[in-house]
Amino acid sequence: MYGRRASQLLKEIDSSEAGQLAPFNSDVFDQVIRECNEHNSQFQTLIRKMVDQNLDIETTRNEDHYGAAIHHLSLLRNKRCLMAYMYNRAEVIQSFRWKVGPVLPHDIQGKLHFSEKEYFKNHSTAIKSYISEMDIDLTVDMVPPKDPYIQVRVLEDIGEVSLGDHSVSLTKNSLHFLRRTDAEQFISQGLMEEFLE
Amino acid sequence: MSSWNDDEDLASASAAEAATTDVELLKRAWRNEKAAPEILRFDSPLVSRVREQIQLLEETLDDFSDSGVDDLVVSLYQMDLDRTLFLLRSYLRLRLQKIEKYAMHIARSDDLLSRLSQQERRFTKSPGSDGSAFLVVGLVPSCSEIMEKHLEQSVLSKLPYGYDSVTRQSLSSTEDDMVPEPQLDTFVFCKTKSDVGAFQLDDIGEEVVDLVADDLYVLRYKSIKGLIESGRIDLI
């Protein structure tokens, strides 16, 4: 059945949770590409057959024309599915830049196609360039602020960090009273957590 | 700027004046941007004014910590600063994320490009955009270019000739039918600021709605686009 493998890719996108990526399915992807090229050569063969019989391609409506039409439309469907697959994954990758930061952890990197890794890097650079042009950090302050200072507990050894005009020693399991914007970047990396009594 | 000055001037200033402080305007722009499906016009003067005021507030706070002002007052000013900063950051972030999503669509429309700030425009589309940004060392490629390159590299280069265009399905497509666009006819909640009177909702003239001041409505975004731009309706 034409187009069934391509819809498998789409089902994969549909069934994964929002904001999560499944590993890149290169097997099915390559199969769909092969299908496309198959369709194309079949299409060309049929068209050539009609030309050899001196039939006008634009207007003739025989079984070859319809066969060619089916191949053409199946190719288009496969193309749309492939593009949708890549595009939707790219959208999730975009969201990673905001949620996780400019460097992706290894387990996510393992799920990406090499072109997606490049896409992430270029996209990150573009965002960084915009942020530095505007001179406002857009990756902090993701949630409306309730308190200017929060209590945090350090989860992993970070060492000496200079915040504002004084430096703080962030050792594991120590409690600190930090400005919210300073703490946010550590919290999003999972190195700190908010300490709620 | 902040609600603090408003409280002090409450005796003299009228309520109408207080409602149009820059923070209020920013909040309104932020709310509209959040609810609208497409990107709205960038209010450049408003953003510059807000940034100046943020700077002023930061300096005031520095002075406070030097002169030993009461902690409670300091933290209240700090709170105000944080909230304004959040609004500004969120406003810019919302816009950037909309651009990320519809980069190719925006890059191809002069009208949409004109709604962006200069920096946003550079983010969306490189000047001269013929893919040259990838070749010139040191020049940052734009969002739309990056997406196109990614799609070409992964999918299109492997497809047969005639089917390898990013914007068209195949050579037989009559228009650019593969560019994702925002849905302009989604329903949005809105509130009128003043009497608009009888308003035509669609082109055919079949649906006419009477819009009264300060009322809540749920309408298709496309129909009220013009009213939002002129500021007579707010999205919520």
Give pLDDT, residue A144: 77
Contact A130 B123 (CB under 8 A): yes
- Establish, for the pair of chains A and B, how many residue pairs have beta carbons separated by less than 8 Å: 114
Q: Which two tokens stand for residue B125?
A: 């589309």
Place of tokens 């686009």: B225
Sign of the dihedral through C-alpha B21, B85, B88, B214: negative
Q: Per-10-residue mean pLDDT for chain B, 236 residues long?
A: 54 45 88 90 90 90 77 81 90 91 88 90 76 64 89 87 83 79 86 76 68 81 82 81
Find, among B227, B231, B226, B191, the residue nearest to B212 by Cα.
B191
Q: Which residues of B touch A138 (CB under 8 A)?
A: 89, 92-93, 96
Nearest chain A residue (CA) to B95: A138
As a whole number of angstroms, the distance between CA A86 and CA A95 comes to 14
Contact A76 B163 (CB under 8 A): yes
Structural domains in chain B?
Answer: 1-101 (1.20.58.1030), 117-181 (no CATH), 183-236 (3.40.5.60)
pLDDT per residue as tens digits for the range B40-95: 999 899 999 999 999 998 888 888 777 777 777 887 888 888 889 899 999 999 99
Give pLDDT, residue A123: 92
Sign of the dihedral through C-alpha B74, B75, B77, B81: positive
Give pLDDT, residue B15: 39
Give pLDDT, residue B12: 43
Of A91, A134, A141, the CB nearest to B85: A141
- The values of phi and psi at residue A139, to 5°, are -95, -5
Across residues A38-43, what is the average pLDDT? 91
Rounded (5°) CA angle A181-A187-A190: 160
- The values of phi and psi at residue A151, to 5°, are -90, 130
Give pLDDT, residue B90: 92
Contact A79 B169 (CB under 8 A): yes
Q: Which residues of A148-166 are buried (b: 16+ CB within 10 A; e: fewer)?
A: bebebebbeebeeeeeeee
Higher pLDDT, B150 or A167: B150
Checking if the pLDDT of A162 tops 90, the result is: no
Helix spans in chain B (H): 3-9, 15-18, 22-35, 44-67, 71-101, 103-107, 110-113, 118-124, 143-154, 221-229
Give pLDDT, residue B203: 65
Q: Which residues of A touch B142 (CB under 8 A)?
A: 126
Tell me the three state secondary structure of residue A118.
helix
Of A40, A83, A130, the CB nearest to B155: A83
Contact B83 A180 (CB under 8 A): no
Give pLDDT, residue B88: 92
Tell me the three state secondary structure of residue B104.
helix
Nearest chain B residue (CA) to A43: B160
B32 CA: distance to closest CA in chain A (Å): 17
Give pLDDT, residue B167: 83
Cα B146 from chain centre: 22
Give pLDDT, residue B222: 84
- The values of phi and psi at residue B210, to 5°, are -90, 115
Q: Is A1 on the interface with B (CB under 8 A)?
A: no
Checking if the pLDDT of A185 tops 80, the result is: no
pLDDT per residue as tens digits for the range A69-91: 899 999 989 998 988 899 999 99
Assess contact for B194 and B232: CB atoms under 8 A: yes
Going by C-beta distance under 8 Å and a sequence separation of 6 or more, which residues neighbour residue B140? A125, A126, A129, B133
Q: Is A71 on the interface with B (CB under 8 A)?
A: no
Give pLDDT, residue A196: 65
Assess contact for B204 and B217: CB atoms under 8 A: no
As a whole number of angstroms, the distance between CA B118 and CA B44 comes to 10
As a whole number of angstroms, the distance between CA B210 and CA B217 comes to 11
Angle between helices A114-134 and B143-154 (to 10 degrees): 180
